[in-house]
Amino acid sequence: MKLFICDFESKYFQRLIPDLPDEAKVISYDETIHHCIGCFGCWLKTPGSCIIRDNYGDMGEYLSRSEELIIISRCCYGGFSPFVKNILDRSISYVHPYFIIKNGEMHHRRRYKNIINIHVYFYGENITEKEKLTAQKLVKANSVNLDCNIGRVSFFQSIEEMEGQII
C-alpha cells in the first residue's frame, strides 16, 4: 500500500495526484486531529493502536501495511508542518517501546516486518539552504526511527509546482 500524508485538504490532493492507486491511503488535513498526549497507551493499553479514537488513531496499522510512505509538507524552519508532525507523533505505535542499538544509537525496536520506502516533498516560498539541510537531516533521522529507506527528498516553491512530480 502507498500511504500519503499531506498537510492540505484532500480536494487539493486530487489535483496533485489525479490517478490515485486503489490500494493507496491518503491522510490529509480534512478535520481536526487531537495531539498525542504522551500517555504511551499505544504501547501499554492498546498495543499498536492509539487510544485516542479519531480518524488518525490507526496510524501504526497504516504504516504496518505500507510499502511506500509519501509525505507532502510545508517546510517549517527545516521541519514538517504542525499537522504532519502531529501525524508522525500519533504513529509512534508503529514501533515497540523497547530499545535496541542501531549505528551506535538507541532506537525503538520494530513491531512490524514490512520495509517502507519514504519519499518527502517539502514546499514553501524562500526555503533557505540551511532549512533544506535541516529537513534532509530530519528525514534521515525519521527513517532510522521508523527503520525505512529514504527514496527522495525534494523541495518546491509551491504545491502547484509539485504537479506531475510526485511518485
The H-or-E segment that residue 66 falls in is none
How confident is the prediction along the chain (167 residues), in pLDDT tens digits per residue? Answer: 999 999 988 888 888 888 888 889 999 988 888 899 999 999 989 888 899 988 888 999 999 999 999 999 999 999 999 999 999 999 999 999 999 998 899 989 999 999 999 999 999 999 999 999 999 999 999 999 899 999 999 999 998 899 888 87
| Grid coordinates of 135 | 529537513
- C-alpha distances in Å from residue 63, one per residue of 39, 77, 118, 129, 161: 20, 26, 11, 30, 27
DSSP state of 20: -
> Which three three-digit cell numbers place residue 119?
519519499
Domain at 110, CATH number: 3.40.50
Q: Which residue, chain included where needed, has cell 488535513?
A: 29
Phi, psi of 84 (to 5 degrees): -65, -40
Query: CA-to-CA distance for 6 and 106, rounded, in angstroms?
Result: 29
The structural domain count of the chain equals 1
Looking at residue 47, what is its pLDDT?
87
Query: How high is the pLDDT of residue 10?
Result: 81
- Cell numbers that stand for 70 in this block: 509519501
In a domain, 22, yes or no: yes
143's CB contacts (< 8 A; 6+ apart) are 118, 149, 150
Q: Is the dihedral of CA 146, 9, 73, 160 positive or negative?
A: positive
Q: How confident is the model at residue 163, as a pLDDT?
A: 87
Q: What is the pLDDT of residue 103?
A: 84
pLDDT score at 19:
84
Is 167 among the domain residues? no
Q: Which domain holds residue 99?
A: 2-162
**Per the structure block, which three cell numbers stand in for 18?**
489525479
Q: Which of 29, 52, 30, 58 is nearest to 39 (CA)?
A: 52
Residue among 48, 47, 147 at smallest CA distance from 100: 147
* Residue 132 placed within a domain: yes
pLDDT of residue 86: 94
3-state SS assignment for residue 55: coil
- Domain-embedded: residue 67: yes
pLDDT at 136: 98
